[in-house]
Amino acid sequence: MKANLFDQRHALSWLLVAVVFGLLLSLQLNSSPSAGTVTMVDGRSGTEVTVHRLENEQEALKARIGQLRQDLANYQRQTAATTELLEEISAELDYHRAIAGLMSAQGPGIEVTLDDSQRQTIPADQDPSAYIVHEYDLRDVVNLLWLAGTEGIAINKERVVGVTSIYCVGSTVMVNDTRLSPPYVVHAIGDPDRLEDFVQNPSYLAKVKEKARRHGLIFQFHRSSSIKLPAYKGSFALRYAQPGQ
């Protein structure tokens, strides 16, 4: 009898637990949102919150893109100004390099040729040195052309610049420490009329012209519409000069 009463109480206890659990589960299900229900946040649906957030992010991205475009435009303007300045500096350097003879050049001018006499016999009373071209003959021609306003000179494709030396070692003429042999062809760029007038003038190159007349020294010149000068290939060795303050 007591065992049956205990079993009944035990069964009632489990039934009560089951009922309570069922009630709790029912309340939980009723309080949970269904699949079609949108969660509310501060009176707004979750979709509205998401849309508002995305709109804010889009505005921020637009602002960032605008700033980047402005930065790019500023950089392009600065680059253009820098490029223009570099082009001006490069053109200025090329101009001075051309003046210094460090660049090849082309233009109208004059060609002067000096060569030793072609006479087979030299009279016994004559000086044999009067029948050949000397370094001072070349220097006289070069100096006259500079005086006439030439913009560039070359002797047998050796560019004549400020440091060029024209001298003689024995019977050999040296230009820029390079041995040259006759005929000596001097090319000069400049006003052909002016250069030709200076070369033809009887007051200039009197000794060269006298040697040509008396000893057969070859002295010829003609104007040209296209003189080509090579760039100076030597060095500019400075031992004592320094940049000024």
C-alpha 218, offset from chain centre: 45
Cα four-point dihedral sign 87, 92, 98, 101: negative
Cα four-point dihedral sign 207, 211, 212, 213: positive
Over 70: is that where the pLDDT of 36 sits?
Answer: no
Return the higher-pLDDT residue of 85 and 165. 165
Residue 87's pLDDT band, with cuts at 50, 70 and 90, is confident
What's the mean pLDDT when you consider all of the chain?
82
Residue 42's pLDDT band, with cuts at 50, 70 and 90, is low
pTM for the model = 0.66
Q: How far apart are CA 26 and CA 29, in angstroms?
A: 5
Over 80: is that where the pLDDT of 65 sits?
Answer: no
The CATH code of the domain at 104-229 is 3.30.70.1880
Q: How far apart are CA 85 and CA 97, in angstroms?
A: 18
- Residue ranges covered by each domain of the chain: 44-99, 104-229
- 17-21, 70-74, 140-144, 238-242 — most confident range: 140-144
CB 187 within 8 Å of CB 226: no
CA dihedral 170, 173, 174, 180 (to 10 degrees): -120
